[in-house]
Chain A
Amino acid sequence: MSVSVRFKFSRKGPVRYIGHLDMLRYFQKAVMRSGLPARYSEGFHPHQIMSFAYPLGVSMETEGDYMDLDLTEEIPEEEMLKRLNAVMNEGVSVSRATILKENAENAMALVAAADYRLSISEGADEAAAAVERIMSCKEILIDGGETKRGKKPKAPKDIRAGILDMRAEDGGYVFMRLLSGSAMNVRPADVFDKLNEAAGGKMYCDCICRLEIYAKKDDSLIPLSEADKRDA
């Protein structure tokens, strides 16, 4: 049999400096150590059927990222968490395990938005005003992104509609809710650059933490752990 499980995980501290592929390899090994009955692909070098909702960039922390894994037998959710957390190392842990319904959509395709908390280590005093300035703009243009060599530079992009919410918080933080996914994908670092521009370049952000990833259901956003959940 095959059952798909969606794990919510966090990563904090020095381990944030590893890249996305390393994170994948880290989880593969953790699953191996945990003894969870992972399902393997066919072929000469079978591998675990594992996928991530949203690649975690180098240096990003998270409290709410998702990893989907196929198992060959069903295990109670609490038990899965216990087994995985028992073999995690510094700064990584899983906080939820959700058994998905059959034919659940792949996590990556579901991603519609994400929350972020930015730690402003310098110029935090400017944050509130900068946020207000940006939020009052009708249009926020950023570079169109990298272009292939020999092609014309891409036209600047307006990301204003992709900033669903943004506010300065106590303790030197800025909270953002940004659109993600195929239609429009806004990166927190790009938004920060705009904030910093508005603050006259006085701000420095030394950590971006993703708080949650959302899927769209009807017209509202629901955490990925709630999407495609198997009916109880």
Chain B
Amino acid sequence: MDSAKRKLALPHRILMEAEKPARYTGGELNSVMKEADLVKIRFCFCFPDVYEIGMSHLGMQILYGLMNSYEDVWCERVFSPWTDMDAIMRRENIPLFALESQDPVKDFDFLGFTLQYEMCYVNILQVLELSGMALYAKDRGEDDPIVIGGGPCTYNAEPIADFFDIFYIGEGEVSYRKLFDLYEEHKERGYKKADFLHEAAKLEGIYVPALYDIVYNEDKTIKSIEPKYDDIPRVVKKNVVKDLDASFYPTAPVVPFIQATQDRAVLEVMRGCIRGCRFCQAGQIYKPVRARNVDTLIRYAEELMENTGYEELSLSSLSTSDHPGLKELLERLINMCNEKKINISLPSLRIDAFSLDVMNKVQDVKKNSLTFAPEAGSQRMRNVINKGLTVENILNGAELAFKGGWNKVKLYFMIGLPGEEDEDVAAIAELSNEVAALYYDTVPKSERQGRVTITASSSFFVPKPFTAFQWAAMNTPEEFLRKAAHCKSKVREQLNQKSIVYHYHDASTTIIEGVLARGDRKLSAVIEEVYRKGGIFDAWTETFSYERWMKAFKDCGMDYGFYIYRERPEEEMFPWDIIDSGVTKKYLYREWMNSKAGTVTLNCRDKCAGCGAGTFMCGICLQPRGGAA
């Protein structure tokens, strides 16, 4: 096809009304065109946020590339139209369309949402409505696309369960082929949506929410989750890629014309994390940790550069420092990238002599800041959350860095952690001060390049499903703000307060995120109400409205405090108990108790904590080391 003549869904006049028309025109490098008549399945992949955010997401690139590698499937993309285009499309009655073919989303076989954060839930409704589809799965017809959700939020997608036909639990590389085969089989022998969904529910990792009844206790907690049929599983086990080196990697990702949030090639070096920080959901749901082989990674890096032309390569994983072959990988990458004039960016490296040496080679020390994520100010709290970073680690790292010429340090903390006292909050200020003081002790006056800048940021803690803190109560906005103010005033009391900048996040967004994170199916009415009252792009401060949410809770007769302000008892059944992430509830509860006792648990490499993910029989769980598997 002569792609320069590819038709556009939006006429010139309308494109010129948009702030960034290229968000809607497609045709980017490595985007895939196929003949619609020659494929059996058309899959529309949606990231329910603005184009630049969605295009920065590796998961989307993986599934896009994987699905398009199937000859019988054409995967296309769609994003949430930004507020300007949203208004235009409603005004002009233009149905939402996919970027590649520019065909209406409603004509596809599947509409797949990646659910990366709770604050995009209202945008799912926006996309459904702009596509001309009913919001609730039960109201959609045989001809409507199957609406499927994947990504981290599916570990408790109950608040949006009524809007979806299917949730795909776990890593996308595993079961999509089986799902497509099943769909094609049903299409050939006379397709009925209900029959297809029933069969799909038997596949590994496929959760069809409508096929489960939720039975509640009088106190609003869940009594049981009952499958409607005997032949579908009582719990849905997540999909895990057992051999990362053998699985698909998108070495020819779509390269946006307009500048995406991540304007670089991404090399995923490892999946999962060995460290069981107790607040961290990613650390649990991506278990067990699986590292890619260095040779594989070098090959991917070469292909990525050749296929994209990016001038920057970013290593990605939850904790890159834990990659067993990191030294060799970096040596080889640095050689390769120097030759090709490509920058390397290394987020999530722990600061030590080795990483500083590497960063010295790949970054401009003067311009870059050093990042530490102690997450809590006091050692007591760091034990509570199982963050194995000590003051010595931080100060040693900072000292080396100061000697190496760095003079900007960023420190990330959380406020509102379980068991937190005011003195733990004050410790944030004290630690910041210590780091600043260290600079003046380490660097002689004559060598100082101006003042050291310590930027301390705190976010407010949200307990998430599948973490040790899933039982914990959240702070109220008043408590959050009082603690943040306390921290701020403590910063002002420090000797080096002029070198410390303190920021804290928005407390109201945190509350909504908290409700949605551990909510149940009753919340769908509230989400719909917020959307009906104009709520879209909640992840953006300029469009988020706390009042709109508060009013919706009230109008729907919902007590949102039920979801966030109570500490849950051990035996309580959770909405997300329908999902088996591998990590057992028993292990998580043990960790909750360890947290209360301030006991530290070792990481997977030092000693297996018996979390349950060993049943996947892959990654670190199979490697010999101390402790019981």
- A residues sitting closer than 8 Å to B (CB atoms) are 12-15, 17-19, 21-22, 25-26, 28-33, 40, 44-47, 58-59, 87, 89-91, 121, 204, 206-207
Contacts and interface: CB of A to CB of B under 8 A. Distances in A.
B255 A29 contact: yes
A14 B26 contact: yes
Given A32-B310, A206-B12, A207-B12, A45 B364 contact: yes
A26 B258 CA distance: 9
Chain B CB count within 10 A is highest, among A17, A25, A47, for: A17
B257 A13 contact: no
A89 B15 contact: no
B257 A46 contact: no
20 contacts: A14-B4, A15-B4, A15-B257, A17-B22, A19-B258, A21-B259, A22-B259, A32-B309, A32-B340, A33-B306, A33-B309, A44-B367, A45-B343, A59-B12, A59-B15, A59-B21, A89-B28, A204-B13, A206-B11, A207-B12
Given A31-B309, A40-B341, A46-B341, A18 B6 contact: no
Given A17-B22, A18-B257, A32-B310, A91 B4 contact: yes
Interface in B297-331: 305-311
A90 B22 contact: no
A19 to B, nearest CB: 7
Contacts of B257: 15, 18, 22, 25-26
A58 B306 contact: no
A32 B29 CA distance: 13
Nearest to B33: A90
Nearest to A33: B309
B128 to A, nearest CB: 26
B18 to A, nearest CB: 9
Contacts of A25: 257, 259, 263
Contacts of A206: 11-13
Interface in B1-58: 3-6, 8, 11-13, 15-16, 21-22, 25-30
A22 B258 contact: yes
Nearest to A89: B29
A29 B29 contact: yes
Interface size range on B against A: 35 or more
B31 to A, nearest CB: 8
Nearest to A92: B4
A30 B15 contact: no
A39 B15 CA distance: 37
Given A29-B29, A32-B311, A13 B306 contact: no
Contacts of B12: 59, 121, 206-207
Contacts of A13: 3-6, 27
Nearest to B363: A44
A59 B10 CA distance: 13
A18 B8 CA distance: 14
Interface in B249-267: 255, 257-259, 263
A102 B30 CA distance: 37
Contact of B6 (A26, A28, A90): A90
B6 A14 contact: yes
Closest 10 A/B residue pairs (Cβ): A29-B309, A32-B309, A90-B3, A13-B4, A44-B364, A91-B4, A33-B309, A17-B21, A206-B12, A18-B257
B309 A15 contact: no
A22 B22 contact: yes
A125 B28 CA distance: 36
A47 B311 contact: yes
A123 to B, nearest CB: 14
Nearest to B8: A14
Given A19-B22, A28-B311, 18 more contacts: A13-B27, A14-B6, A15-B4, A19-B258, A22-B257, A25-B259, A29-B309, A31-B309, A32-B310, A33-B306, A33-B307, A46-B341, A59-B21, A89-B27, A89-B30, A90-B6, A206-B11, A207-B12
Contact of B3 (A18, A19, A87, A91): A91
A30 B259 contact: no
Contacts of B343: 45
A15 B306 contact: no
Given A18-B258, A22-B258, A90-B27, A59 B6 contact: no
A91 B27 contact: yes
B309 A12 contact: no
A12 B11 CA distance: 15
B611 to A, nearest CB: 42
A63 to B, nearest CB: 12
Contacts of B16: 58-59
Contacts of B25: 14-15, 17
A14 B26 CA distance: 8
B341 A30 contact: no
Nearest to B16: A59
B505 to A, nearest CB: 30
B534 to A, nearest CB: 28
A47 to B, nearest CB: 7
A87 B309 contact: yes
A218 B16 CA distance: 40
B158 to A, nearest CB: 40
A25 B311 CA distance: 10
Given A26-B257, A45-B364, A91-B3, A58 B21 contact: yes
Nearest to A45: B343
B308 A33 contact: yes
Contacts of A59: 12, 15-16, 21
B155 to A, nearest CB: 36
Given A26-B257, A33-B306, A206-B12, A14 B341 contact: no
Given A90-B6, A90-B27, A29 B22 contact: no
A141 B455 CA distance: 54
A145 B278 CA distance: 59
Given A22-B259, A207-B12, A30 B309 contact: yes
Interface string B328-352: 0000000000001101000000000
Contacts of A30: 309
A12 B311 contact: no
A47 B364 CA distance: 14
A91 B5 CA distance: 8
A26 B13 CA distance: 25
Nearest to B306: A33
A78 B5 CA distance: 26
Nearest to B15: A17
A121 B308 CA distance: 36
Nearest to B366: A44
Contacts of B306: 33
Contacts of A31: 309
Contacts of A22: 22, 257-259
Contacts of A32: 305, 309-311, 340
A121 B11 CA distance: 12
Contacts of A91: 3-4, 27
Contacts of A87: 309
A29 B12 CA distance: 27
A218 to B, nearest CB: 37
Contacts of B367: 44
Nearest to A93: B4
B408 to A, nearest CB: 16
A64 B78 CA distance: 33
